[in-house]
């Protein structure tokens, strides 16, 4: 029997099948119907889901399990101490990533960077205390904001670093957004390294490969971090 962990993000659904704590299969789907089709015939014991958008009633409808469903929210018991001031407003994906970091890097200070629609920076202390962190716009959101909130600037995209200084408006936008995002990440890392030594830096999210190749720091890129954390929370509750 397998456990199922589902991370419903802003733009897609990521799911992982776990056996004895190990991730054995991963899916990326547009909706729950597609995920249900991919899981057809799979014997599922327990399931957990986090969602940044809405209450995940579809979990029960499309994905039957023989055991327990856990709809992860601020009331769900977790194997870390949550020191966030407003836990009911904390993104469940951020807390799940912290649990994943604690599971993989026990007794270490961890800075968890999730580079997706937004870029989040969260601190997990070595004693297992989640302290919170920072939220800033992701790369795509920055491109869209520059275009949307100005009269003439074009919508630009891409992750290839342009020459400095930019010789065209498109290059100037790319330069400001990409080099700016890298400088932000490096500045955040340096800020936390001054306070928490030694510091393990973990990154996940769709834009993680870009930051891994450009940020001057030793980074562990773990794309499945949120799913690993969700499965750990599921095990903790079951």
* Catalytic (active-site) positions: 93
| Concatenated DSSP letters of the chain | -EEEEEEE-SS-EEEEEEETTEEEEEEEESSHHHHHHHTTT--EEEEEEEESSS--THHHHH---SS-EEE--TTS--SSEE--S-GGGS-HHHHHHHHHHHHHSTTSEEEEEEESSEEEEEEE-TTSEEEEEEEEE-HHHHHHHHHHTSSSPPP----SPPPSS-SSHHHHHHIIIIIHHHHHHHHHHHHHHHHSSSEEEEEESTTHHHHHHHSSS--EE-TTHHHHHHHHHHHHH-
Q: CA nearest 103: which of 83, 130, 121, 84?
A: 130
């Amino acid at each position: 029997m397998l456990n199922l962990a589902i991370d419903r993000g802003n733009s897609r659904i990521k799911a992982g099948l776990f056996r004895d704590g190990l991730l054995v299969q991963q899916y990326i789907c547009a909706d729950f119907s597609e995920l249900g089709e991919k899981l057809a015939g799979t014997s599922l014991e327990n399931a957990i889901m986090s969602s940044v958008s809405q209450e995940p009633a579809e979990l029960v409808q499309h994905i039957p399990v023989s055991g327990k469903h856990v709809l992860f929210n601020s009331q769900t018991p977790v194997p870390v101490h949550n020191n966030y001031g407003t836990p009911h407003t904390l993104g469940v994906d951020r807390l799940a990533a912290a649990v994943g970091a604690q599971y993989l890097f026990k007794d270490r200070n961890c800075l968890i960077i999730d580079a997706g629609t937004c870029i989040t920076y969260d601190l997990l202390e070595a004693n297992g205390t989640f302290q919170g962190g920072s939220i800033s716009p992701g790369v795509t959101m920055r491109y869209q904001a520059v275009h949307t909130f100005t009269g003439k600037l074009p919508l630009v995209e891409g992750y290839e670093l342009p020459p400095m200084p930019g010789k065209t408006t498109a290059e100037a936008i790319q330069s400001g957004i990409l080099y700016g995002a890298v400088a932000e990440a490096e500045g955040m890392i340096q800020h936390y390294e001054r306070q928490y030594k030694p510091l393990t830096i973990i990154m996940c999210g769709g834009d993680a490969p870009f930051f891994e190749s450009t940020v001057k720091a030793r980074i562990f890129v773990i794309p499945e971090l949120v799913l690993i954390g969700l499965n750990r929370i599921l095990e903790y509750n079951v």
